[in-house]
Amino acid sequence: MIPQIIKTFLDSDIGYSFKKSKVAIVSSIIFVTIVLTSLLAVVIAPYNPFDPKSVSLMDAFTPPIWSIGGSVDFLLGTDQQGRDMLSTMIYGSQISLIVGFASIIFAMVLGVFLGVTAGYLGGRYEIVVMRFTDVQLTIPSILMALLVDGIARGFISKSLHNDMAIYVLILAIGISEWPQFARITRAATLVEKNKEYVLASRIIGLSDIVIMIKHILPNILRPILVIATIGLSQAIITESTLSFLGVGFPPTNPSLGTLIRFGNNFLFSGEWWITFFPAIFLVVLALSINLLGDWMRDALNPKLKVR
Amino acid sequence: MFNYFLKRLLQSILVMLIVGFVSFSLFNFVGDPVNNMVGQEASEETREEIREKLGLNDPVYTQFFKFVVNASNGEFGLSYELRRPVSLLISERLPATLELVLVSALIAIFFGVLFGVYTAINRDGFVSNFILITSLFGVSLPTFVIGILFIYLFSVILGILPSFGRGEVVNFGFWSTGFLTISGIKALILPSITLSLFQMTYIIRLVRAEMIEILQTDYIKFARARGINNKVINNRHALKNGLIPVITITGINIGTLIAFSIITETVFQWPGMGLLFINAVQFVDVPIMSAYLIMVAFLFVMINFIVDIAYYFIDPRIRLKEEEAIK
Amino acid sequence: MTFLKINNLDIEYQTRKETINASRNVSFTLERGEIIGIVGESGSGKSTVANAIINLIDKPGKITNGSILLDETELCNNEEVVRTIRGKKIGFIFQDPQTSLNPLFTIKDQLVETIQTHTDLDYNKALEKSIKLLTEVGIENPHKRINDYPHQFSGGMRQRVVIALAISCEPDLLIADEPTTALDVSIQFKILNLLKKLTLDRNLGVLIITHDIGVIAEITDKVIIMRYGKIVEYGKTHQVLSKPASIECKSLVMSVPPANKKIDRFKLLSPEGKQIIDTSLNLTNNIIKNWKIRDLSNKKLLDFINVTKVFDGIKILSTKDADDKIQALDNVSFSIFEGESFGLVGESGSGKSTIAKIISGLLPPSKGEVKFENTSLFDPKNKLKIKKFRGQIQMIFQDPYSSLNPRFNIKDIISEPIKFFQKNIDHYSLDQNVNDLIDIVGISRTSLERFPHEFSGGQRQRISIARALATKPRLLICDEPTSALDVTIQAQVLNLLKDLQEQLNLTILFISHDLPVIRQMCDRVAILKKGCICEINQTESIFNNPKNLYTKELLRLMPKIESII
């Protein structure tokens, strides 16, 4: 079944655009590789950096393999606790990706639901929803996430902070990202709602719910997909920013941002690799997603169609 | 005309009240204010005394009212962590953040609009593609990574720019400025460029998209058909129409900069409101969080108001709609 | 020396699959003082040729061959020369006055700028000239209005401003691309007259692009008929329209609904030139059996009683914006009898679409009642019964490109209404039903698995008709069903509708702004103006003996092919 889907994709207009764009191909390869690597972290990573037995302070501050003092055991060096950089990065990316995907899915479900219902049902409901959306859109997402994070911390006792971090972050980032889904979904819904095939279904007597799900939703997926892709990279960056600032993942369960945070302390003393490698990894991940999203936006834009 | 402004003003006040309410709720329901003030060992009577003094036994709307009155006078109580008046802490830090944000905003808007327009008019070409690729990088690089990179390059390796602090500042009145000293300006360079980069790339892409759409409209086509030359079309027609979204962008931009300054201040240890806020979040220092919220909301609301005023003067359709509504 | 000479013009567009020939071997001439029309259906290449003359073809199109000579100067692929000529020697008018003017600049700014681009006049002289131009195109009070912005003008006025801009630098050649298509009939007439007057006064050579044969008949001296990029006929308008030589032209002329009489069916020509006698009657016995065709009893089927409809803005906190109220209908009453074809005519803003939406249940009336077979359609107590009635009233729409869900295949589109009213229908019966419907509208059964984008406009309208008939309605509302179609396709679809009405004893409510079409399709007609009914009568009475002033105006102003043959 999957080969069939891939084949249909490659034959379509979008697939044509994909094949033509070297950028899209390369970035999707990179992205898929990163995702697979993090999914299979247990198998691929040379060490499990969270297993105290495999970590020894003796190995701390080992530089990468091509520097003086480097060793084959630790390809990219070790950090201040002796953990293998490569392994911590792979595990860290796992966390970053989980939070990224989960928060975007949360934001998407909430935002699309509100957007479609607001756009289709209209009335006071729409005005209220859009007010909320507009107001929240003027608040930068990082601030929103910080706020939710801060408030959540206030409610959760200090001892549970670290364990709950992942849920708090998914909630915080999800809440900060839903308005952009709501806005684009509502705009697209308004356009579809006035199309005559929707009127035809209403005349027959189909219920609003059926029309929204069967008729409107499948036709507005394109812009949602573009926003979701770009939103994913934003979510990953937001999470790493929060972790960097100290209000994200703790050092016991570090994401890429946390790793950069602690590596930063050693920048001046010469152990540049501790912060450098996670930073590059993060940038490559975000870049590959952004490139894909960019290509998608142009490929799915009906206005830019070359006939 | 006044009608339009009055409506906007009322809306702004409404928004502030809502934000105030959220802020107020923070105060009262996140954690126990009394606990935070006196610690675990205090007796029940002391707690009750404090509760009475803080007015926590009054009905909610009285508390809210008092809160609003206090907030409008800049009175937010004491920081839980630092035990100093919040208003004082904020006024100390405010100039640092505002100067940083101002400089970054100027850089981001100026170069953003410039490059955005350029890449829209010259769709192909080496320079355009270069700018676009760089902008893509810009969106993928988190601000703190850029900051760290800059610090490493300019402070560690080249050693020509400072990596933390504001340098020397000159005080007058309650304001302290870093513009008037060399070390102040030097200290400003890296943080402001770091802060502006993310926004600049955003603006470039947005402006470019807007301009391209405008250049494909019928009225531009008609202008070409009338023989008006390209330069005039780009500089006069397209630009003026493109101004409206740029103003919106500017408004939102300053807001985002204020938010992102939190990150930049952390990386560069810049003594501004952002650093204060982050520490407050880490320690659940509610008074500071509350006050920051209100301060920032106030700045946003003010900026939005100014943007609305600008719209009124630039887009004749809004002007006329208002004037006709009155008749 | 010929004024404008086009020779062997070839224009191509490169797409990823193929090369499209937008125009092939196009040749014609135009003299000063002459008005030539280029008419063709969509995709004929007429607009592309016009754009080619001023070298403003949309990418990726380009001129691959041929020459364009204006007073012996070669314009083809010669951007430098063309740039100096645009506006100065050639004026161009686009279709949509709404989007042709920059909303942020006053008319004064746009006029003065254009004038100063091509002449040496100083500001005051340019301003003087601008005011004179506005007077010439018929704008009252030009001294005041010149300071207004585009959105302060109505559609017709805006087009006059556009024309003023186009002729501001005294061009010799004026090209108008569908100049009146976006305008109402009454305004259309005035704009066409304006163009005639300007041609005479200024000795212009005018090239008009249009799809409307009526416009051609009213205003042009010579006409070029284009099809698929090629010229199929070219000659004096009178000659071409009264004695067409080519098959395509014959087909075109035969498809134009006559304004002066009612015909039974439009005659259709096959591509070889033979008349198609066999119409789209593909009824199988199944359909007649299933349909339970009722005998016509000539009762009142639909009663529209004193309906008023007002559109309100919704406010959460009431503000002073009470001016958002729009009164779409004001105390409108009419009845439709079983088996008849009732027409509703009006210009834009007359409320005809609102009536369609109310009858079909999309909108409730603000005041008044609508009764179907003596049952009120908006009675809250009768909801269940009304729901059943909904299947008996169906509608087909104007825009073939948005009337079918692009994600559904044809089978699903037609099945949906059937499945809704017969929830437990079995596969076999459903298939039978769908097959019958697709046969009845003349689309082949292989289409069922395909998707809307694979079909042309006319085919899509047929599919819409099939969907509308799926619930065996007794009242079929047709809201401008052919306004977006080419004339020859329109003839086919109108024939189909007439056939269906006769065979299935349908009652039809036909809404249009096109008077000749109404004359062909309807037994009785109501004329609507700004939400009020001006006149209701038998069609022939209205056309031959109109009583109301507005009706008389409409009849007088409509562009008709009969004006020249």
Section C365-369 average pLDDT: 89
> Does the CB of B123 have a partner CB in chain C at under 8 Å?
no
* Residues in chain C closer than 8 A to A124 (CB atoms): 314, 316
In this complex, the chains that touch B, judged by 3 or more CB pairs closer than 8 A, are A, C
Section C471-495 average pLDDT: 90
Q: What are phi and psi of C194, to 5 degrees?
A: -60, -45
Among the ranges given (A98-102, A188-192, C180-184, C280-284), the one the predictor scored with the smallest mean pLDDT: C280-284
Helix (H, G, I), strand (E, B) or coil at C560: coil
pLDDT at B120: 87
Q: What are phi and psi of A251, to 5 degrees?
A: -65, -20
Q: Which residues of chain A have a Cβ shorter than 8 Å from any chain C Cβ?
A: 16, 122-124, 127-128, 195-197, 199-206, 215, 218-219, 306-307
Rounded to a whole number, what is the distance in Å from the CA of A140 to chain B's nearest CA? 5
- Render pLDDT for B1-22 as a digit per residue (tens, 0 to 9): 677 788 778 878 887 887 787 7
Question: From CA B19, how far away is CA B208, in angstroms rounded?
Answer: 34
Q: What are phi and psi of A35, to 5 degrees?
A: -60, -45
Q: Which residues contact C138 (CB under 8 A, 6 or more apart)?
A: C160, C190, C194
pLDDT band at C319 (very low <50, low <70, confident <90, very high): very low
- Render pLDDT for B237-276 as a digit per residue (tens, 0 to 9): 888 888 777 777 777 778 888 888 889 998 888 888 888 8
pLDDT band at C290 (very low <50, low <70, confident <90, very high): low
Nearest residue of chain B to residue A267 (CA atoms): B152
pLDDT at C320: 45
A177-A183-A188 Cα angle (round to 5): 130
- Render pLDDT for C12-27 as a digit per residue (tens, 0 to 9): 888 767 788 888 889 9
- Render pLDDT for B84-141 as a digit per residue (tens, 0 to 9): 787 788 888 888 888 889 899 999 989 988 898 888 888 878 888 888 888 888 888 8
* Residues in chain B closer than 8 A to A246 (CB atoms): 278, 282
- Render pLDDT for C373-423 as a digit per residue (tens, 0 to 9): 888 888 878 777 888 778 889 999 999 989 999 989 999 999 999 999 888
- Cα atoms in the 13 Å half-sphere on the side-chain side of C333: 6
Going by DSSP bridges, is the β-strand pair C19-30/B170-172 parallel, antiparallel, or unpaired?
unpaired
B311 Cα distance to chain centroid: 20
Question: From CA C226, how far away is CA C241, in angstroms rounded?
Answer: 14
**Which is more confident, A76 or C175?**
C175
pLDDT at C208: 93
Instruction: Report CA torsion sign: A13, A16, A22, A28.
Output: positive
Spell out where chain B has E strands: 170-172, 175-177
Helix (H, G, I), strand (E, B) or coil at C66: strand
With a cut of 50, say whether residue C248 has pLDDT above it: yes
With a cut of 50, say whether residue C351 has pLDDT above it: yes
- Render pLDDT for A57-73 as a digit per residue (tens, 0 to 9): 777 777 777 777 777 77
pLDDT at B1: 66
With a cut of 80, say whether residue B61 has pLDDT above it: no
Nearest residue of chain C to residue B4 (CA atoms): C320
Q: Answer whether B182's CB lies under 8 Å from C55's CB.
A: no
Q: Percent of chain B beyond pLDDT 90?
A: 2
Section A167-173 average pLDDT: 90
pLDDT at B327: 46
With a cut of 80, say whether residue A213 has pLDDT above it: yes
**Which is more confident, B149 or B24?**
B149
pLDDT at A119: 93
Q: Which residues contact A179 (CB under 8 A, 6 or more apart)?
A: A111, A132, A133, A134, A136, A137
β-sheet with C393-396: strand ranges across: C393-396, C475-479, C507-512, C341-346, C524-529, C532-538
Biggest CA pair distance of chain C: 80
Helix (H, G, I), strand (E, B) or coil at B307: helix
What are the DSSP calls for A163-230, one per residue?
HHHHHHHHHHHHHHHHHHHHHHHHHHHHHHHTSHHHHHHHHHT--HHHIIIIIIHHHSHHHHHHHHHH
Among the ranges given (B62-66, C203-207, C314-318, C445-449), the one the predictor scored with the smallest mean pLDDT: C314-318
With a cut of 90, say whether residue A269 has pLDDT above it: no
Q: Which residues contact B71 (CB under 8 A, 6 or more apart)?
A: B20, B23, B291, B294
pLDDT at C412: 93
Contact call for B218 and C83, based on CB within 8 A = no
Q: Percent of chain A beyond pLDDT 90?
A: 30
What are the DSSP calls for C139-197, one per residue?
-SSHHHHTTS-GGGS-HHHHHHHHHHHHHTT--SEEEEESTTTTS-HHHHHHHHHHHHH
pLDDT band at C58 (very low <50, low <70, confident <90, very high): confident
Going by DSSP bridges, is the β-strand pair C375-376/C367-372 parallel, antiparallel, or unpaired?
antiparallel
* Residues in chain C closer than 8 A to B225 (CB atoms): 54, 56, 86-87, 92, 94, 166
B50-B54-B58 Cα angle (round to 5): 115
| Residue of B221, B226, B315 for testing the chain C interface, max C β-carbons within 10 Å | B226
Partner residue facing B140 (CB), from A146, A241, A290 = A290
pLDDT at C323: 53
Among the ranges given (A258-267, C235-244, C265-274, C430-439), the one the predictor scored with the smallest mean pLDDT: C265-274
Section B295-299 average pLDDT: 81
Among the ranges given (B223-227, C232-236, C295-299), the one the predictor scored with the smallest mean pLDDT: C295-299
Q: Answer whether B226's CB lies under 8 Å from C170's CB.
A: no
Rounded to a whole number, what is the distance in Å from the CA of C251 to chain A's nearest CA? 30
- Render pLDDT for A229-243 as a digit per residue (tens, 0 to 9): 989 999 999 999 999
Q: What are phi and psi of A151, to 5 degrees?
A: -65, -45
Most confidently modeled of A101-110, A263-272, C51-60? A101-110
pLDDT at B42: 65
Section B306-318 average pLDDT: 77
Average pLDDT, chain C: 86
Partner residue facing C56 (CB), from B221, B316, B325 = B221
Question: Which tokens belong to B239?
Answer: 């630009």
**Which is more confident, A52 or C247?**
C247
- In C391-486, alpha helices (H): 410-421, 427-440, 457-469
CA A289 to each of CA A29, A35, B199, C378: distance values in angstroms, whole numbers, following the listed order? 10, 11, 19, 53
pLDDT at A177: 92
Question: From CA C384, how far away is CA C402, in angstroms rounded?
Answer: 30
pLDDT band at C528 (very low <50, low <70, confident <90, very high): very high
With a cut of 50, say whether residue A306 has pLDDT above it: no
Rounded to a whole number, what is the distance in Å from the CA of B227 to chain C's nearest CA? 5
Q: What share of chain B is helix, strand, coil (3-state, %, to 5)?
A: 80, 0, 20
In this complex, the chains that touch A, judged by 3 or more CB pairs closer than 8 A, are B, C
CA A241 to each of CA A234, A257, C77, C245, C430: distance values in angstroms, whole numbers, following the listed order? 10, 6, 55, 76, 58
Contact call for C54 and B225, based on CB within 8 A = yes
Question: From CA A180, how far away is CA A224, in angstroms rounded?
Answer: 10
* Residues in chain A closer than 8 A to C407 (CB atoms): 218-219
pLDDT at B323: 60
Hey, how many other C-beta atoms are within 10 angstroms of the C-beta on C147? Answer: 11
Q: Answer whether A285's CB lies under 8 Å from A31's CB.
A: yes
pLDDT band at A183 (very low <50, low <70, confident <90, very high): very high
With a cut of 80, say whether residue C105 has pLDDT above it: yes
Q: Radius of gyration (Cα) for chain C, nearest Å?
A: 26
pLDDT at C284: 57
Among the ranges given (A132-136, B18-22, C144-148), the one the predictor scored with the smallest mean pLDDT: B18-22
pLDDT at C288: 65
With a cut of 70, say whether residue B54 has pLDDT above it: no
* Residues in chain A closer than 8 A to C416 (CB atoms): 201, 204, 206
With a cut of 60, say whether residue B325 has pLDDT above it: no
Q: Percent of chain C beyond pLDDT 70?
A: 94
